[in-house]
Amino acid sequence: MSLAPEFPAPIRFGGRLRFDQHEHENYKRALAGLPAVERGEAEPIRFVDASAVCADLAIDRRTLGRRVRGRIRGEAS
């Protein structure tokens, strides 16, 4: 069992990888040791591009790919 928080699930739109902005923010909060925030009922669902996620987390595309594959393998188990 890992102590690292679970990476957000990716979504494909038009061949591009995107992430739910709310899940991404909760992932960053978990990395900082803060509790997750619930999405409000009136809050719209927004998506951020994979390049923005890489810039925000200071990782490269290869590392992002590894985290996405790790999540997919974790779901298959």
pLDDT at 50: 96
Looking at the chain, the whole-number percentage of residues with pLDDT higher than 90 is 81
pLDDT at 35: 95
pLDDT at 75 > cutoff 90:
no
pLDDT at 77 > cutoff 60:
no
Residue 32 has what DSSP assignment? T
